[in-house]
Amino acid sequence: MVEAVAADVCGQREDANAADDGRARHADAHSPKRGVLHGAEDARRGSEAPALRRGISRHHIKALQLHADDPLHAELVQGSQPRGGADRGVAVNGHRHTQNNTRPQKNTEEHRYGKHTNIVSIDLLVFGPHADDIEIGLGGTVARHTAAGHRVGLCDLTRAELSSNGTPDTRAAEAAAAARVLGAAWRENLGWPDGGIAETPSIIRSAVDLIRGHRPRAIAVPYWDDRHPDHVAASQVLRRAAFTSALRRYETQDDAWRPDWICYYFINDGTTPSFVIDVSDYYQQKRDALDCYRSQFTPDGAESVSTRLTASTFRQLVESRDAQFGALAGVAFAEGLVVREPLQRSGLLKHVP
């Protein structure tokens, strides 16, 4: 059913990347117990999404655009080649897997979207509280990085069981289809409780396991000031998990891992961005990925209800924000991000390291 819905939503994308096959083994005693934190491939959105209020409207905002030849653009993922060391992977069925570089892995849709088992180190890991959050806030950036050859993994945190529209199976299919459109290497769902994201030991551990298992160079998480409680909670939990991942005495299946940095993207609310990514050439991919979520934006059937997402103005709000960031940077469309640390440059010349 999942594949059938996915095909109906967006069709199949024939851009699967080859990966390595490995031998599975069970998680050790330090791995989190499954339950609400089981690795599910389902993804559903939570309660009714609001309009994008508090947008950026001040004419004097100085947005920093990252061009392909700008050193800050390279800093987002620090190059397209995976880091050295053993390749890692996390399965969604409760087992842990370690990469074996000598054996090629079967390149199947089931492996790449929702049921993968062995994943090499990735460049960028993007977290979203509910399926479609990543596409709303960072769809163009994901598409740009995958087009440049960077390996990008997507992780939905909840199954969005409190969503007004859609079912778990439908949302899982939509999320998988959107991942294909954006060219993501894989997509997972951690199965955290919708409406109940909190800094509990088990939730923190499951996020640490994912980060250590995939060893991303950069992490993108929701901006910490958002009207949706799940988005705020996810931002806090993921910041804590990224910090904990670097603690060598915090024992898990995999070794400690510290990403180069954490970037925060906007879903509903926004502020002056630290920088923006020019996504003009990839904006149609973002639109196509959002179109995959028919259950959220254009639901049909007797049980569907009107929400903020079903209003035509919601997509308009998303595009107007991206167009505004783009206009501030002198391009058609751009997506804004915030970082907590100062951005270091070697001089004042715009495109010279």
What residues make up the domain containing 219? Answer: 2-338
Burial (CB count within 10 angstroms: exposed 0-12, middle 13-18, buried 19+), residue 118: buried
Question: Mean pLDDT, the chain, as a whole number?
Answer: 76
Residue 133: closest CA among 309, 338, 349? 309
Query: Is 294 contained in some domain?
Result: yes
239 or 81, which is more confident: 239
- With cut-offs at 50, 70 and 90, classify the pLDDT of residue 26: very low
Q: Please say if the pLDDT value at position 61 is more than 70.
A: no
Q: Is 347 a domain residue?
A: no
The DSSP code for 339 is -
Query: Chain centroid to CA 169: how far?
Result: 19
Mean of the pLDDT values across residues 92-96? 30
Over residues 316-325, mean pLDDT: 97
User: Could you tell me how far CA 243 lies from the centroid of its own chain?
Assistant: 18
Helix axes 133-147, 283-291, angle to 10 degrees: 140
- Find the mean pLDDT for residues 69-74: 49
Segment 255-309, tens digit of pLDDT: 999 999 999 999 999 999 999 999 999 999 999 999 999 988 888 877 888 888 8
Whole-number pLDDT of residue 300: 85
Q: Can you tell me the mean pLDDT for 62-67?
A: 50
- Distance between CA 134 and CA 290 in Å, rounded? 10
Q: For the segment 184-209, what is each residue's pLDDT rounded down to a tens digit?
A: 999 999 999 999 999 999 999 999 99
By mean pLDDT, which of 12-26, 124-138, 268-282 is the weakest?
Answer: 12-26
Q: Is residue 220 part of a domain?
A: yes
**Tens digits of residue pLDDT in 148-162:** 999 999 999 999 899
Assign residue 93 the CATH number of its domain. 3.40.50.10320
Higher-pLDDT residue of 247, 13: 247
DSSP 113: B
Residue 306 has a pLDDT of: 84
Q: Is residue 25 part of a domain?
A: yes
How many Cα atoms occupy the beta-carbon half-sphere of 32 within 13 Å? 24
Q: Is residue 59 part of a domain?
A: yes
Inform me whether the pLDDT recorded for 180 exceeds 70.
Answer: yes
Q: Which of 111-120, 132-141, 312-321 has the highest mean pLDDT?
A: 132-141
Higher confidence at residue 237 or residue 50?
237
Count CB neighbours of 319 within 10 A. Answer: 15
Give the chain's domain count.
Answer: 1
| Closest by CA position to 329, among listed 268, 283, 269, 272 | 272
In a domain, 346, yes or no: no
Confidence (pLDDT) at 168? 82
Average pLDDT, integer, range 231-242: 98
Between 103 and 257, whose confidence is greater? Answer: 257
pTM surpassing 0.85? no
- Higher-confidence residue of 264 and 53: namely 264
Residue 345 lies inside a defined structural domain of this protein: no
46 pLDDT more than 90: no
Q: What is the average pLDDT across 301-319? A: 87
* 351 occurs within a structural domain: no
Looking at per-residue pLDDT, the higher value among 273 and 120 belongs to 273
